[in-house]
Amino acid sequence: MNIELSISTLVHALRLAVEIMGAVTIAAGSVSAFIKFCVALVKNRHADFNTVRLTLARYLALALEFQLGADIISTAIAPGWEEIGKLGAIAIIRTGLNYFLTKELAEEKAASHLKS
């Protein structure tokens, strides 16, 4: 078997595994946030809705990192200019989303410390 083909197959499998980790992270965050939402709804604690949103945001930020990692892995083998351009655009969008999610999480954490 050709070594280049073996490496390419391995890289594609690794990318799929990292993408699956991102999807599982989103699913776990969605389930966790939904459970917290239901508890807050049943207890009629509307103030907890922001905590639910921030819970989901933490999982989404982590999932974005996994997805970006998968995109970087996909360009590991002989990338062309088109693939590099796509990766650059995806990296900018995902990094921007992650930046704003992280910024919002930090602001909420600081605000919650002020309240305590």
CB atoms near residue 20 (< 10 Å): 12
Q: How far apart are CA 49 and CA 55, in angstroms?
A: 10
End-to-end CA gap in the chain: 63
**Would you state the pLDDT for residue 93?**
86
Is residue 28 pLDDT above 90, yes or no? Answer: yes
Determine the 3-state secondary structure of 53 from DSSP: helix
Phi then psi dihedrals of residue 95, to 5 deg: -65, -40
Is residue 32 pLDDT above 90, yes or no? Answer: yes
Q: Is 89 exposed, middle or buried (0-12, 13-18, 19+ CB in 10 A)?
A: exposed
**Would you state the pLDDT for residue 17?**
96
The average confidence (pLDDT) of the chain is 86
**Would you state the pLDDT for residue 78?**
67
pLDDT in tens, 79-112: 788 888 888 888 888 888 888 888 887 887 777 7
Is residue 63 pLDDT above 90, yes or no? Answer: yes
